Structure 1
Amino acid sequence: MRYRTLGKTGIKVSILGYGILRLPEKRRGRIDIDESIRMIRRSIDNGLNFVDTAYNYHNGKSEVILGQALKDSYREKVTLMTKCPTWEIKTEEDFNRILDEQLARLEVDYIDIYLFHNINEKRYKEIILKFNLFDKMLEAKKKGKIKHIGFSSHEKPKNIKKYIDENDFEVVLVQYNFVDPINEEIIQYAHDKGLGVILMGPCGGGRLTNEPTEEMKQWLTPGKTNFSDLAFKFVWSNPHVTIALSGMSSEKIVDENMALASSKNYQLNAKERERLGKVAQKFQETYDLDCTQCGYCDNCPEDVNIKLIFKELMRSRNPLNMHKARANYRGIGLAKRFPGKNALACVECGECLEKCPQEIPIIDRLKEAHSILKERDV
């Protein structure tokens, strides 16, 4: 495993971090706890030393399961990061209450890195500044409940820069991949200011791990069936990046990512860079839905399986996969592995719109998905 220093924190961390967001499930919403713990520990045993979770991941179960995985001396082997759900804070007292709840869930005495989760302009002004949450962070740090502080954001680079400039953060978590490298300049800026830079979505929330179109297959690495290897090499080739997080949902993915992060060929060579440019251009032309499958839209009041519907809509962009996408969509509500309801059940309440960090017009895209996926292939 390769390691880098996490900015001004001085912590030596693995370049691959385990994002506890896409744990294996026995069925929708029911995590395979034993398999999850085994996978997390397997990665740690092989050199990974950075784990990331959040208050709302897997509807609050992520922190609990990670806490179980870190028992038996595994806690001492990792740097643990979780996040403050700013949207849950209605009073100044809520910050400490929620932090204590997270410590209890994780069954730990302290959190190594604590982030304000998904800052945007509204939350920054109306929650973080209004309730003096940065000072609350510093107080918790003095008490030893947290060691280092930072924030995550899906905002525009100029706003991310503002949050960095106005606060003494030590870590930043942003999105970055070869299809959407918009944050490249802010990543360098944060690094130059001494922040440790952590990335989410190096594989586009799984989009870059899907089977490519027939035309794209000519640019695959020999022996590979998707572009995940090039996606990780791209982000690790950036000297300003410290960690790439991966939400690993199977033992196979863990082993593949661990092997790449330990390889001497973990960065792009000249030929791979050339191929990647062609892939990025074609990918942008083919796929127009920025869903990262984060699951923030889960728990729809009408039980619409938004995440699955969007997964199949993205799958349908590849003509080779249209039949499977339509078959899976028709199976929603009928097959155990496709629970919930299809897009017709949407009543346009708008609850999901407030939760989506990508600001996807979910209601409109659900209508589009149904119009495309309802058809039967002839």
Structure 2
Amino acid sequence: MHYRTLGNTRITTSVLGFGCMRLPTREQGDQFTFPHGPINQEKAIHIIRKGIEAGINYIDTAYTYHEEEGEIIVGMALKDGYRKKVTLATKAPVRMDYYCEAEHFEKYLDDQLQRLSVDFIDIYLFHGINATLWEEKIKKFDLIERARCAQEEGKFKYLGFSFHDKPEVLKEIIDSSHFEMMLVQYNILDRANEEMIAHAAKKGLGVAVMGPNNGGKLAGEPPLEMQPWVTEGRANFVDLSLKFVLSNQNVSVALSGMGSEKMLDDNVALVSDKNYDKLTDTEKERIHIIEAKFKELSNTICTVCRYCMPCPNEVNIPLIFASVIRHQVYGNKKTATWAYSNIGKVRWFPGKDATACLECGECEPKCPQHIPIIDQLKEAHRILTG
């Protein structure tokens, strides 16, 4: 395992962090279907502890993960001496509608400390900040000042934020000088934050990256027509995408949502290699091919984060878009159309299909990828029923 310094915090972090948004679930399906369901407690605790024993010392969770069960399981995993071995990061649910008063900062922070069964949190982040939340919650409720008071009380050590918006908004937040670290999306298919990652690092912020596999699109088997360029040797999608992120020396830690022991073992093997952050000319060429091919194969960039949910009319937006990706990118038409046709008919595909969309527009402002969800749902129905 290799390690880097997390900005000016003096924290030494493993370059691979354990993202706890996609823990093993009791009804474990594929990466697109069940990334957020009820957690398989035994498997989740085992895999988190196995990661720590392999040298991972950065654990990332959030109030909302796994239907608000995630922090509880992480807290259980960190008992028996594991807590002292890690940097623990979690997030205040400021993006949620129920987080609507200044006093909610203390309310939810105290609740999270109890859920995690810890005396303090190492890094406390505002979750999913965008321009609207920055103005209407962080500034309006004076949450920075409240955070500093809690920090002085010893409830957490460092203040950060995770981010889903345009780079110019990110720059404003970085330049506010309120934060010690940030968590942003960055991968082969989404390099919009690359310049701001360098800017943040220069100003001394620790930089954590989420979505190195683009929410699963760079995980598993690549599309058949791309395999000749990708799967030669160890350079599969997961290896190459993680190596790409870590080749950026401004990145302190890359988070991976590891829902299986195989994913954990593969990632640990990569970041234990002496050349884990050095891209060869051949790998750089493959990256260019991947970028071009994905743009050609799919216009849907959904990462199945579920921020669009719940839908007022119970449309299963993440599953629908995941089915389109499975169809268009991976060429698995049979599975994709079967899943779509069974929405609402089997218990592991709950909700309704795209025809139930009322075009209310409630989902679109919530999407970190700025997908025109209403139009894409219509297109998804055409693709999956044609």
Match of 1:358 in 2: 369
Matched, 1:20 2:28: no
The amino acid of 1:85's aligned partner reads P
Q: Per-residue deviation at 1:181? A: 1.0
1:233 to 240, 243, 262: 243
Matched, 1:195 2:205: yes
Match of 1:272 in 2: 283
Q: Per-residue deviation at 1:224? A: 5.7
Distance 1:272 1:319 in 2: 21
Q: Per-residue deviation at 1:305? A: 2.2
Matched, 1:107 2:134: no
Q: Per-residue deviation at 1:165? A: 0.9
Match of 1:293 in 2: 304
Q: Per-residue deviation at 1:285? A: 2.0
Match of 1:159 in 2: 169
Matches within 5 A, 1:61-72: 61-72=69-80
The amino acid of 2:16's aligned partner reads L
Match of 1:260 in 2: 270
Deviation per CA, 1:297-325: give whole Å up to 9, x if none: 34434333221111111111137322221
Match of 1:321 in 2: 332
Matches within 5 A, 1:79-228: 79-87=87-95, 88-222=98-232, 226-228=236-238
Distance 1:248 1:298 in 2: 22
Q: Could you tell me whether the CA contact under 8 Å between 2:38 and 2:67 is conserved in 1?
A: no
Q: Per-residue deviation at 1:212? A: 2.5
2:257 to 247, 257, 273: 247
Matched, 1:343 2:337: no
The amino acid of 1:131's aligned partner reads F
1:75 to 66, 83, 90: 83
Distance 1:319 1:57, change over 3 A: closer
Q: Per-residue deviation at 1:222? A: 2.2
Range moving further from structure 2, 174-183 or 353-362: 353-362
Distance 1:231 1:8, change over 3 A: same
Range moving further from structure 2, 164-173 or 346-355: 346-355
Q: Could you tell me whether the CA contact under 8 Å between 1:37 and 1:65 is conserved in 2?
A: yes
Range moving further from structure 2, 272-281 or 8-17: 272-281
Distance 1:318 1:89, change over 3 A: closer
Distance 2:303 2:45 in 1: 24
Q: Could you tell me whether the CA contact under 8 Å between 1:211 and 1:225 is conserved in 2?
A: no
Match of 2:6 in 1: 6
Distance 1:95 1:115, change over 3 A: same
Q: Per-residue deviation at 1:235? A: 0.7
SS at match of 1:325: helix
Q: Which runs of 5+ in 2 are unaligned?
A: 28-33
Q: Per-residue deviation at 1:260? A: 0.9
Please report the TM-score for the alignment, with normalisation by the length of structure 1: 0.94
Please report the TM-score for the alignment, with normalisation by the length of structure 2: 0.92
SS at match of 1:173: strand
SS at match of 1:208: coil
The amino acid of 1:47's aligned partner reads G
Distance 2:220 2:269 in 1: 20
SS at match of 1:168: coil
Distance 1:92 1:45, change over 3 A: same
Match of 1:51 in 2: 59
Match of 2:314 in 1: 303
Q: Per-residue deviation at 1:226? A: 4.4
Distance 1:226 1:345 in 2: 38
SS at match of 2:363: helix
Q: Per-residue deviation at 1:201? A: 0.9
Distance 1:57 1:355, change over 3 A: farther
Range moving further from structure 2, 159-168 or 318-327: 318-327
Count of aligned residue pairs for this structure pair: 375
Q: Could you tell me whether the CA contact under 8 Å between 1:298 and 1:306 is conserved in 2?
A: yes
1:60 to 58, 68, 87: 68
Distance 1:369 1:182 in 2: 26
Q: Could you tell me whether the CA contact under 8 Å between 2:222 and 2:330 is conserved in 1?
A: no
The amino acid of 1:345's aligned partner reads A
Match of 2:48 in 1: 40
- Percentage of matched positions with identical amino acids: 51
Q: Per-residue deviation at 1:286? A: 1.6
The amino acid of 2:316's aligned partner reads N
Distance 1:367 1:123 in 2: 29
Q: Which runs of 5+ in 1 are unaligned?
A: none
Range moving further from structure 2, 22-31 or 235-244: 22-31
